[in-house]
Amino acid sequence: MRILLGVSAGIAAYKSALLLRLLTEAGHDVRVVPTRASFEFVGRATWEALSGQPVTSEVFEDVPSVEHVRLGKSADLVIVAPATADLLARAAAGRSDDLLTAALLTARCPVLMAPAMHTEMWEHPATRANVATLRSRGVTVLEPASGRLTGVDSGPGRLPEPAEIAAAALALVGEGSSPGETDLAGRHVVVSAGGTREPLDPVRFLGNRSTGRQGYALAAAAARRGASVTVVAANVSLADPVGATVVHVETTAELRDRVRAAAVDADVVVMAAAVADFTPARPAEHKIKKSAGDEGLTLELVRTPDVLAELATARLRPGQVVVGFAAETGDDDGDVLEHGRAKARRKGADLLVVNAVGPGLGFAVAENAVTVVDAQGRDVARASGSKDAVADVVWDAVVPLLAPPAEAAADGAPPLG
Ligand code: CTP
């Protein structure tokens, strides 16, 4: 496929070098078109070396081949990453004062923009209006991720990870990491992601380190494979997975309600969220203050419902496949897999995805390594690598357990004749 990769002048331009790598390694022919100012961040040599193609920002170079028309018209997909506030404004206004904006006017293929800028710029009414204009014309403008920005500030405005941008862009032209796989077409899947937070008082909570990356990768993979996807996201600040409906929640109680509501007509429920096992018995109405002489604070916690075990017992829709995750560290009583197998037998889910967590493992890192076990704790599959690769292995294990589509569709329908 011929991809035009536009790069505008943001500090995140260096991440596009990785994006370019992902696209060329997947066999695509990528032509990089940076804006003039973006050369302040990444130089021409980098783009030319990585793409193996000449690179220019100018309309007035190589005039005889009318590059701005040829590039736009011949592209099968355009990706702009990072898309700065200025680039969004110029694209929304239909300007053509450099090769990238001119090519955007001549392109007739799907266009995806991945914005990156400071939160204030992203939230400014001018930028909001430009994004709305572009979206109304059919351009896919990703939501930026939240997190640390260039300075000391943090908030929405980070460029999504290169793998997420590549997956979202390729999904626009019907190409995913499993090209041609539509084995979840016609299925509704629910994925919980992230980590729940239990309030101690109006400003504090008990939480965990889950970022939601694995859950989001599962949701994106399911959407690529044709499913209709609902994500119940607990405190996740990543860009929404393409093709999924995302419901944001904070606490275990909210997560339980929203997962159960969505699960009523789901073929599969995957509990990838890290759910708090305990919640404060009586969250304080006002901020907890320390008094002179206080040497410690004792909190009374009560058990939360086990959402996964409940779903496995209730099977809110006949034939529903229920999948859990087991985040384990291993201890004196057993290693990661021993704990995982025991948990599989306890929870009653059809599949349990066991992964080791701890410093540099599982949570908040791009890579993951898992063993998928069945309800008896027997190995079904193993996967390691990117969270996207792991997600596809999990779906590969789920698909054989699904009731045939006709049977699933007939559930609850009155008998014919
Ligand atoms: N889970 C859940 N509800 C809870 C706790 C966990 O639905 N209250 C789900 C998680 O989403 C995950 C699975 O159960 O799919 C296992 O979570 P994990 O934290 O590994 O296990 P726990 O049930 O908390 O067991 P333990 O405390 O023994 O590790």
Contact yes or no for 112/79 (Cβ under 8 A) = yes
Taking alpha carbons only, the member of 197, 190, 195 closest to residue 218 is 190
Give yes or no for residue 239 CB within 6 A of ligand 1: no
pTM score over 0.85: no
Contact yes or no for 393/318 (Cβ under 8 A) = no
Give yes or no for residue 304 CB within 6 A of ligand 1: yes
- The token pair at 377 is 């704790």
**CA gap 17, 177 in Å, rounded:** 20
pLDDT given for residue 331 in this prediction:
86
Question: Looking at the structure, do residues 209 and 164 belong to the same domain, yes or no?
Answer: no
397 C-alpha to center of ligand 1: Å?
20
188 - beta bridge partners? 228
Question: Looking at the structure, do residues 132 and 192 belong to the same domain, yes or no?
Answer: no
339 C-alpha to center of ligand 1: Å?
12
Q: Which residue has the tokens 């504090």?
A: 204
pLDDT given for residue 406 in this prediction:
57
**CA gap 401, 413 in Å, rounded:** 21
**CA gap 271, 30 in Å, rounded:** 37
Provide DSSP, 20-32: HHHHHHTT-EEEE
Question: Looking at the structure, do residues 218 and 327 belong to the same domain, yes or no?
Answer: yes
CB under 8 Å to 361, separation ≥6 — which residues?
355, 369
Question: Looking at the structure, do residues 214 and 262 belong to the same domain, yes or no?
Answer: yes
Question: Looking at the structure, do residues 60 and 165 belong to the same domain, yes or no?
Answer: yes
- Last residue of a domain, which of 172, 204, 239? 172
Q: What pLDDT digit, counting tens, does each position of 137-160 carry?
A: 999 998 888 777 777 777 788 998
Please report the sign of the dihedral spanned by the C-alpha atoms of residue 79, residue 85, residue 86, residue 92: positive
Q: What is the CATH number of the domain that holds 385?
A: 3.40.50.10300
- Last residue of a domain, which of 113, 148, 172? 172
pLDDT given for residue 180 in this prediction:
44
3-state secondary structure 60-124: CCCHHHCHHHHHHHHCCEEEEEEECHHHHHHHHHCCCCCHHHHHHHHCCCCEEEEECCCHHHHHC
- Closest CA to ligand 1's atom 3: 306
| 177 in any annotated domain | no
Question: Looking at the structure, do residues 60 and 107 belong to the same domain, yes or no?
Answer: yes
Return the ligand 1 atom nearest residue 309 CA: 7
**CA gap 284, 266 in Å, rounded:** 37
b/e per residue, 177-215, with b = 16+ CB within 10 A? bbeebebbeebbbbbbbbbbbbbbeeeebbbbebbbbbb
Q: In total, how many domains does the chain have?
A: 2
pLDDT given for residue 364 in this prediction:
58
pLDDT given for residue 163 in this prediction:
84
Q: What pLDDT digit, counting tens, does each position of 280-332 carry?
A: 999 999 999 988 888 999 999 999 999 999 999 999 999 999 999 998 888 88
Mean pLDDT by runs of 10 across the 417 residues of the chain is 96 95 90 97 96 91 73 94 98 96 95 94 95 92 81 81 87 64 87 98 95 94 89 93 89 98 97 98 94 90 98 95 92 88 94 83 69 95 87 95 68 41
pLDDT given for residue 181 in this prediction:
60
pLDDT given for residue 103 in this prediction:
95
| 220 in any annotated domain | yes
Give yes or no for residue 116 CB within 6 A of ligand 1: no
Q: What is the CATH number of the domain that holds 87?
A: 3.40.50.1950
Question: Looking at the structure, do residues 142 and 228 belong to the same domain, yes or no?
Answer: no
326 C-alpha to center of ligand 1: Å?
7
- Last residue of a domain, which of 172, 202, 230? 172
Range of the domain at 63: 2-172
Question: Looking at the structure, do residues 194 and 163 belong to the same domain, yes or no?
Answer: no
